[in-house]
Amino acid sequence: MPQRSLVLLKPDAVRRGLVGEIVSRIERKANWTLVAMELRTLDQATLEQHYAEHVGKPFYEPLMEFMGSGPSVALIVEGESVIEGVRALAGKTNPLEAGPGTIRGDYATITRENLIHASDSDSSAEREIKIFFPNHA
């Protein structure tokens, strides 16, 4: 049965002109489909909902500031093993640990500005899709 994942191309991906490259990598995977895609600057309320589990952590405030610093691209990607697959394609959170051929390994330089977010489980995907695309939930 196909899964769905929320994918965010963060403000650094948009600023650096990497949206097409990253979307292309996702689209080239067999049996994955873009279900929804939108460019928008994320408001405080959306960011607070999305990052609620990180409140109080040292990286929370800088992350909130970064994520609101410019437009992001939100996508729903659907397909077989898409949650695990997009996360593997993204690479480890720390770009210095992400392997060559991954999005972060090839293009990111620092952990906070690491280009891409992808849901980490079915339950996270369901929660995140409701936040960003309530009409697709």
Active site residues: 117
- Report the distance separating Cα 99 and Cα 102, nearest Å: 6
What is the three-class DSSP state of 22?
Answer: helix
Question: How far apart, in whole angstroms, are the C-alpha atoms of residue 7 and residue 76?
Answer: 6
Contact 25, 69 (CB under 8 A): no
